Amino acid sequence: MGLPGSNSGAILSKIATNNQHGENSEYFEGWKAYDKDPFHLSHNPHGIIQMGLAENQLCLDLIKDWIKENPEASICTLEGVHQFSDIANFQDYHGLKKFREAIAHFMGKARGGRVTFDPERVVMSGGATGANETIMFCLADPGDVFLIPSPYYAAFDRDLRWRTGVEIIPVPCSSSNNFRLTVEAVGWAYKKAQESNKKVKGLILTNPSNPLGTMLDKDTLKDLVRFVTKKNIHLVVDEIYAATVFSGDNFVSVAEVVNDVDISEVNVDLIHIVYSLSKDMGLPGFRVGIVYSYNDSVVSCARKMSSFGLVSSQTQLMLASMLSDERFVENFLMENSKRLGIRHEVFTTGLKKADITCLTSSGGLFVWMDLRHLLRDRNSFESEIELWRIIIHKVKLNVSPGSSFHCTEPGWFRVCFANMDDDTLRVALRRIQDFVSKNNNNKIVEKATDKDQVIQNNNAKKQKWRQSNLRLSFRRLYEDGLSSPGIMSPHSPLLRA
């Protein structure tokens, strides 16, 4: 809705109103509900708990300690103010040299120290959001296509398409093989795009995956590098969760694979990495995004573009100092992984108590929760949305339905677990357990009535009364959930997803 007196249709440009912002999904309803009634342990204990936000709040204490111990790293302290004029004036789009060096070094550390990055290839942007758009701008013309394995990060619909005119063709992955991406599936989508006369410019991967939390193995990555080289299309890997890994094998960066694959099988000019400190350091508000390309022309073009989304020089200065502190970085990465692992374990164990399983994962700030058994109709997305509304309005948890990530199977939900304290997590788990047990009670009564015909006959009247009441209560739950207002949220969930 526009401001009073405005007529956005007539005033705004075609590109601004082209609907490619991806914000017209039902997804907003949960955020509106959360905004209206946010949970607080003491002030609003019956409010909605935010589980739709992929934010890492588990290690902010370590960063705060470092800031206290290093006051000279900021220009707004007694110890750092002598640098104020130089830093406040600095606006070179290359960025501070020591910032680029520190970021390149940190990117290597975040990938287990198995790869190195060249500071001359580090280009700044406003978060990974800006980095993803920049890379699209550099590589594709309006109407060109990028293939993306689905389910995929919901905000890609906006970030990759809106201002660039790029189109997305999903590479559908399914539960039949635990949503694993195969080179065959990519080949199938590539062929399909070509058959419909689309020009495929590249493939985008998120590794580790948002929303799945899974990681690509080295062999698959190698196959994909060979595939793009053979087809002469680009490979962009969004590695924003590179160090947000808590179990299983090591995360394998495409940077490692580039070194591993036979030189005749890889054209490095086609390989690009997107990174950010939003997840691995838990600093989404700092808006530190990175385009790292092996292609000189892309580095040069992206650098010019970076004028639109520079990281503030104050932030650069502080991070240059923090990320060059070897002891701090090593301890932070280790502790972050440990705390994420514990949190993930507590959360998934709690879900198991409610007979809820999740896709096995080893990274990310969320789980991919399987609620297919709770759908009224297992094959319908309407049922998914129906259940989702109950979860928001009755269970009072804002989780994200799989359909908003373009999942092709109804019944999957992304649930974030690192954006809250332990007590809030306990409340969330209790709410889920109570909801499922109520739901199960209804089913048990129905089963018992099916099985025991004799008892049912003997207690026909009594049973009928109980059954209709329980069914009614569950149906009511559905109907109440469905009747909630579907007005759009003024705040974009995608901005904070």
Ligand X SMILES: Cc1ncc(COP(=O)(O)O)c(C=O)c1O
Q: Which is nearer to ligand X, 354 or 358 (CB)?
A: 358
Spatial CB neighbours of 484, under 8 Å, sequence gap ≥ 6: 29, 33, 389, 392, 393
Indicate whether 276 belongs to the interface with ligand X (CB under 6 A).
yes
CB–CB of 361/245 below 8 Å?
no
The span of 123-131, 246-254, 316-324, 368-376 binding ligand X (CB under 6 A) equals: 123-131
Q: Which is nearer to ligand X, 289 or 410 (CB)?
A: 289
Q: Which is nearer to ligand X, 138 or 266 (CB)?
A: 138
Indicate whether 289 belongs to the interface with ligand X (CB under 6 A).
yes
CB–CB of 366/153 below 8 Å?
no
Indicate if 478 belongs to the active site.
no
Among 33, 54, 371, 392, binds ligand X (CB under 6 A): 54
In the complex, the smallest distance separating the C-beta of residue 127 from ligand X, rounded to whole angstroms, is 3
Among 30, 52, 95, 127, binds ligand X (CB under 6 A): 127
Indicate if 34 belongs to the active site.
no
Indicate whether 125 belongs to the interface with ligand X (CB under 6 A).
no
In the complex, the smallest distance separating the C-beta of residue 131 from ligand X, rounded to whole angstroms, is 7
Q: Which is nearer to ligand X, 276 or 337 (CB)?
A: 276
- Cis-peptide, bond into residue 284, ω within 30° of zero: no
Q: What is the CA angle 459-462-464, rounded to 5? A: 100
Burial level of 312, CB count in 10 A (0-12/13-18/19+)?
middle
Q: Which is nearer to ligand X, 233 or 237 (CB)?
A: 237
Q: Which is nearer to ligand X, 110 or 436 (CB)?
A: 110
Among 134, 150, 206, 295, binds ligand X (CB under 6 A): 206
Q: Which of 27, 34, 152, 153 is catalytic?
A: 153
**Closest residue by Cα to residue 401 from 63, 58, 29:** 29
Adjacency order of strands within the sheet including 200-206:
122-126, 288-293, 271-276, 234-238, 200-206, 145-150, 167-172
Indicate whether 235 belongs to the interface with ligand X (CB under 6 A).
no
**Closest residue by Cα to residue 402 from 216, 145, 172:** 172
Q: Which of 157, 159, 223, 238 is catalytic?
A: 238
Site for ligand X in 328-347 (CB under 6 A): none
Indicate whether 149 belongs to the interface with ligand X (CB under 6 A).
no
Please state, in angstroms and rounded to a whole number, the distance separating the CA atoms of residues 37 and 45.
10
Q: Give the total of residues touching ligand X (CB under 6 A).
A: 14
Indicate whether 228 belongs to the interface with ligand X (CB under 6 A).
no
Indicate whether 244 belongs to the interface with ligand X (CB under 6 A).
no
Indicate whether 366 belongs to the interface with ligand X (CB under 6 A).
no
Encoded amino acid at 484, one letter: S
Please state, in angstroms and rounded to a whole number, the distance separating the CA atoms of residues 423 and 225.
44
Indicate whether 278 belongs to the interface with ligand X (CB under 6 A).
yes
The span of 167-175, 185-193, 276-284, 368-376 binding ligand X (CB under 6 A) equals: 276-284
Range list of β-strands (E), 185-318: 200-206, 234-238, 271-276, 288-293
Indicate whether 210 belongs to the interface with ligand X (CB under 6 A).
yes
Among 104, 122, 221, 240, binds ligand X (CB under 6 A): 240
Q: Which is nearer to ligand X, 136 or 374 (CB)?
A: 136
Indicate whether 129 belongs to the interface with ligand X (CB under 6 A).
yes
Sign of CA dihedral 240, 243, 247, 253: positive
Indicate if 153 belongs to the active site.
yes
Please state, in angstroms and rounded to a whole number, the distance separating the CA atoms of residues 367 and 373.
17
Q: Which of 32, 222, 279, 396 is catalytic?
A: 279
> What is the residue whose two structure tokens read 């495929």?
200
DSSP string, 382-435: HHHHHHHHHHHHTS-EE-EEGGGGT-SSTTEEEEE-SSS-HHHHHHHHHHHHHH
Q: Which is nearer to ligand X, 275 or 435 (CB)?
A: 275
Indicate if 240 belongs to the active site.
yes
Tell me the H-state helices in 160-295.
Answer: 183-195, 218-231, 254-260
Helix (H, G, I), strand (E, B) or coil at 55: coil
Q: Which of 204, 240, 356, 392 is catalytic?
A: 240
Active-site residues, by number, are: 153, 238, 240, 279
Contact set with ligand X (CB under 6 A): 54, 127-129, 153, 206, 210, 238, 240, 276, 278, 284, 289, 497
